[in-house]
């Protein structure tokens, strides 16, 4: 991200310690009215995401998990800050790096870990895997494996909210690499043309797989919104207060004025693109260390809450121990759970085949 | 019974479903103000207003993806593709999102969307505008594919498609839009996955769907008159779900089969039918299963030659005689 100011007058924080910007964010009404309990909850959610993913990494290394595992470690403040603002008619959709969003909207760790293990008790009954978590009961619409393909769906969620006359917004998350997909641009145009209540959130972690932003994208990412006559903003994604303050403005625009907008949130992933990524060709160890040391979202917020007297060292330890235990339990739950059976393969394909009493079509739905 | 066109039959189905269910929205390029590129939606904007009849930009991936997302929340979008040929630019949305989202969510999310529009050759618009993707679409578990041949079928099947809780892809035909047929004024719905015997016969079973039903009927009349051959014609109407049992019953009666389809032959719908017929009615067959398809090349422009590339009554006639030889 460059340091240009946006049409929403967000500007990027300079690297380094707490700035005037983060103080502003702390004093923003959306944060100022947080109770100590709510602040602790934000912290706890980030810690639970981190411990869950660390535990999943160990399970992956132990070959308990197949396929890809895209870890969100380092980016937790983005999902937690954004999803903490959700009201009853707000919706979330994201890409394959979805564990953080799933936990942030309130999904339990057991079905999430079981899904990674490919178990029948998984949130998608072992049919989706790491990249395809869903929980419509919490307005969480996935979990999508095709880069950028979820963004038109996010616009559709906003269309649905508006069509039904509800006051709400959809948050459509994507990575910095996804911004180059045509479907994203088509979605931008539709959202702006039809004034749909959606916030496009670019989680800019600097890389799409092994390709840095500089090698993949011409110009400022969020600024592309200007071409579609949408306001845009940028914010520091290492500080949960800043994420909340920024996202609150954009969500309010969507909910109150049906004004879509784009937010680019500066963040960083510590792990490789996926666990299979050797992560030694496109960035330096020093760069990763720098982020870990100075910008870790959990550390940043922990320090903040210590200084506010909301957290104590003892409480931090307790929360961490509980999160570790919860993650461990989820692995035990997953381990003990049954796999789906071959009989389950053809379930959940059609509404009609799963609801034979309501079936109106005839003929064969499945073929040998 | 009133006689109306295929185009009007589809329009009536849309109007009735818009009135029946406030979640039904018709969307697509030129469907509203322009009254539809093929005038299928003519008059609907004036009657139902811009909330229900929505013009989209030329942005198939965007608006179809948007429709899929809205359908997950319970809206029932009926999206028009000006030509089904343009599905290729929305392929990811149609086949990764619409077809897969229910499965990948372990059955938690439904996608009650309808995508409709014409899918045919024969109008001299060249290879980019003449695709017939019913085989490609039907290859994806999770979707339903319907190809109506008559005004009566088009109306009843579209109403069923709109009420269906799974994604339904409805493939029309620009050449059929002006064809007329009897359509009752009282309401009716034709279940998806139900084939229809369009002609009863004893010597040869023609399995077909879409405009090829009309070619087959024309050929059957000549075969009867000039060759004393009695042809049974089964119109599948739906490709998925597939109503194969009446086909098998017919084969048990005639013992000879010709499949007629406006498809490129390789991995076509007919390929699947031939597999199923030989698998399930092998002992009933008195000869190999024959097939007439589009001649295997991209759609040619040259008007008189395109007619020859596609199935037509003369080609069906020849193929039928070959199947009986
Ligand atoms: C259409 C498509 N192309 C390529 C891929 C393979 N792929 C998966 S993630 C990824 C990088 C995406 O990077 P970004 O959008 O920045 O998200 P991040 O991984 O950083 O969260 C690539 C190339 C894919 N899943 N889908
Ligand atoms: Mg990235």
Instruction: Report pLDDT digits (tens) over A302-322.
Output: 999 999 999 999 999 999 999
- H-helix or E-strand spanning residue A38: helix A36-61
Tell me whether residue A17 is in a domain. no
Rg of chain A taking only CA atoms, in angstroms: 20
Please report whether residue A29 resides in a domain.
Answer: yes
| Domain B196-324 class in CATH | alpha beta
pLDDT 10s digits, B80-123:
999 999 999 999 999 999 999 999 999 999 999 999 999 999 99
Among residues A238, A240, A326, A297, the alpha carbon closest in space to that of A39 is found at A240
Topology alike, domains B3-182 and B196-324: yes
pLDDT of residue A19: 58
- Which residues does residue B77 pair with via DSSP β-bridges, in sequence order? B25
What is the pLDDT at residue A23? 80
Contacts of A69 by beta carbon, 8 Å cutoff, 6+ apart = A56, A57, A60, A116, A130, A274, A275, A276
Other Cβ atoms within 10 Å of B1 Cβ, number: 10
Residue A367 in domain: no
Q: pLDDT at position A20, please?
A: 67
Nearest to A348 among B56, B102, B189 (CB): B102
pLDDT of residue B2 exceeding 80, the answer is: yes
Of A92, A2, A90, A77, residue with least CA distance to A43: A77
| B289, B244 contact by CB (below 8 A) | no
Residues of chain A with pLDDT under 50: 1-18
- pLDDT number for residue A279: 87
Alpha carbon distances (Å) from A103 to A44, A80, A109, A111, A112: 11, 8, 7, 11, 9
Whole-number Å distance between alpha carbons of A190 and B100: 23
Residue A209 CA, ligand 1 centroid: distance in Å? 6
CATH value at residue A168 = 3.40.50.970
Domain B3-182 has CATH 3.40.1190.20: no
Q: Say which residues have a Cβ less than 8 Å from residue B228's Cβ, sequence separation at least 6.
A: none
Residue A16 domain-assigned? no
| CB neighbours of residue A28 within 10 Å | 17
Q: Is residue A9 part of a domain?
A: no
Per the structure, the complete domain to which residue A141 belongs is given by 22-342
- Report the distance separating Cα B190 and Cα B289, nearest Å: 29
Pocket test of ligand 1: the residue of A75, A100, A273, A275 to mutate, having most ligand atoms within 8 Å of its CB, is A273
Residues of chain A found within 8 Å of residue B193, distances taken between Cβ atoms:
361-365
Supply the pLDDT for residue A278. 85
Write out the two tokens for A39.
């602040």
Is A352 among the domain residues? no
Query: Which pLDDT value is given to residue B292?
Result: 98
- Structure pTM? 0.96
Residue A368 lies in a domain: no
Residue in B107, B160, B242 closest to A360 by CB: B160
The per-residue pLDDT for A9 is 40
Number of domains composing chain A: 1
| Mean pLDDT, residues B260-265 taken together | 98
Rounded distance between C-alpha atoms, residue B90 and residue A140, angstroms: 23
Mean pLDDT for chain B?
Answer: 98
Per-residue pLDDT reduced to its tens digit, B29-45: 999 999 999 999 999 99
User: Tell me, what's the pLDDT at A260?
Assistant: 98
The ipTM of this complex is 0.96
Is B12 assigned a catalytic role?
no
Q: What is the residue extent of each domain of chain B?
A: 3-182, 196-324
Quick check: is A191 in a domain? yes
Spacing, Cα A213 to ligand 2 middle (Å): 8
């Amino acid at each position: 991200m460059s340091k240009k100011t946006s049409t929403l007058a967000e500007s990027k924080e300079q690297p380094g310690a707490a700035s005037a910007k983060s103080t502003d964010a702390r004093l923003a009404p959306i944060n100022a009215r947080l109770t100590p309990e709510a602040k602790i909850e934000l912290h706890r959610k980030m810690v639970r995401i981190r411990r869950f993913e660390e535990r999943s990494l160990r399970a992956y290394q132990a070959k308990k998990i197949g396929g890809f595992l895209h870890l969100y470690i380092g980016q937790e403040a983005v999902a937690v800050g954004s999803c903490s603002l959700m009201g009853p008619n707000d919706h979330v959709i994201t890409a394959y790096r979805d564990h953080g969003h799933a936990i942030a909207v309130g999904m339990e760790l057991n079905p999430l870990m079981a899904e990674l293990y490919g178990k029948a008790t998984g949130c998608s009954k072992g049919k989706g895997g790491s990249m395809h978590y869903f929980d419509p009961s919490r307005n969480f619409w996935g979990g999508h494996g095709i880069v950028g393909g979820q963004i038109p769906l996010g616009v559709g969620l906003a269309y649905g909210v508006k069509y039904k006359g509800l006051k709400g917004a959809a948050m459509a998350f994507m990575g910095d690499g996804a911004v180059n997909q045509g479907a994203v641009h088509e979605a931008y145009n539709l959202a702006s043309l039809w004034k749909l209540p959606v916030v496009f959130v670019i989680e800019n972690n600097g890389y799409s797989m092994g390709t840095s932003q500089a090698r993949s994208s011409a110009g400022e990412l969020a600024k592309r919104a200007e071409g579609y006559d949408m306001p845009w903003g940028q914010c520091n994604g290492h500080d949960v207060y800043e994420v909340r303050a920024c996202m609150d403005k954009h969500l309010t625009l969507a909910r109150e004025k049906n004004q879509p907008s784009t937010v680019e949130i500066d963040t960083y992933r510590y792990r490789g693109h996926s666990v299979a990524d050797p992560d030694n060709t496109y960035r330096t160890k020093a760069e990763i260390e720098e982020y870990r040391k100075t910008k870790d979202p959990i550390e940043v917020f922990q320090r903040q809450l210590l200084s506010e007297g909301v957290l104590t060292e003892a409480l931090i330890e307790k929360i961490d121990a509980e999160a570790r235990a919860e993650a461990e339990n989820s692995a035990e739950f997953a381990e003990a759970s049954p796999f789906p059976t071959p009989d389950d393969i053809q379930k959940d394909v059609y509404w009609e085949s799963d609801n034979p009493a309501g079936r109106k079509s005839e003929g064969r739905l499945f073929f040998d | 019974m009133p006689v109306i066109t295929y185009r009007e039959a589809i329009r009536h189905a849309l109007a009735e479903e818009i009135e029946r269910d406030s979640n039904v929205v018709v969307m697509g390029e030129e469907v509203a103000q322009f009254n539809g590129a093929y005038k299928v939606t003519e008059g609907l904007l004036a009657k139902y207003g811009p909330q229900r009849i929505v013009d989209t930009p030329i942005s198939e991936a965007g608006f179809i993806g948007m429709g899929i997302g809205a359908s997950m929340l319970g809206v029932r979008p009926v999206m028009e593709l000006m030509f089904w040929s343009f599905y290729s630019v929305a392929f990811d949305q149609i086949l990764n999102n619409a077809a897969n989202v229910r499965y990948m969510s372990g059955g938690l999310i439904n996608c009650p969307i309808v995508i409709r529009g014409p899918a045919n050759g024969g109008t001299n618009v060249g290879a980019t505008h003449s695709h017939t993707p019913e085989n490609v679409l039907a290859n994806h578990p999770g979707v339903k594919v319907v190809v109506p041949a008559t005004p009566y079928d088009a109306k009843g099947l579209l109403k069923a498609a709109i009420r269906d809780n799974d994604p339904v892809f409805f493939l029309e035909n620009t050449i059929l839009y002006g064809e007329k047929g009897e359509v009752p004024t009282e309401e009716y719905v034709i279940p998806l996955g139900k084939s229809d015997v369009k002609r009863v016969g004893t010597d040869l079973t023609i399995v077909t769907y879409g405009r090829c039903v009309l070619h087959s009927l024309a050929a059957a009349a000549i075969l009867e008159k000039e060759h004393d051959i009695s042809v049974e014609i089964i119109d599948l109407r739906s490709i998925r779900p597939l109503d194969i049992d009446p086909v098998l019953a017919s084969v048990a009666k005639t013992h000879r089969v010709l499949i007629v389809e406006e498809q490129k032959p390789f991995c076509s719908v007919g390929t699947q039918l031939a597999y199923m017929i030989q698998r399930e009615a092998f002992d009933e067959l008195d000869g190999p299963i024959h097939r007439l398809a589009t001649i295997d090349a991209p759609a040619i422009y040259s008007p008189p030659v395109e007619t020859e590339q596609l199935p037509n009554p003369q080609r069906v006639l020849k193929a039928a005689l070959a199947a009986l030889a």
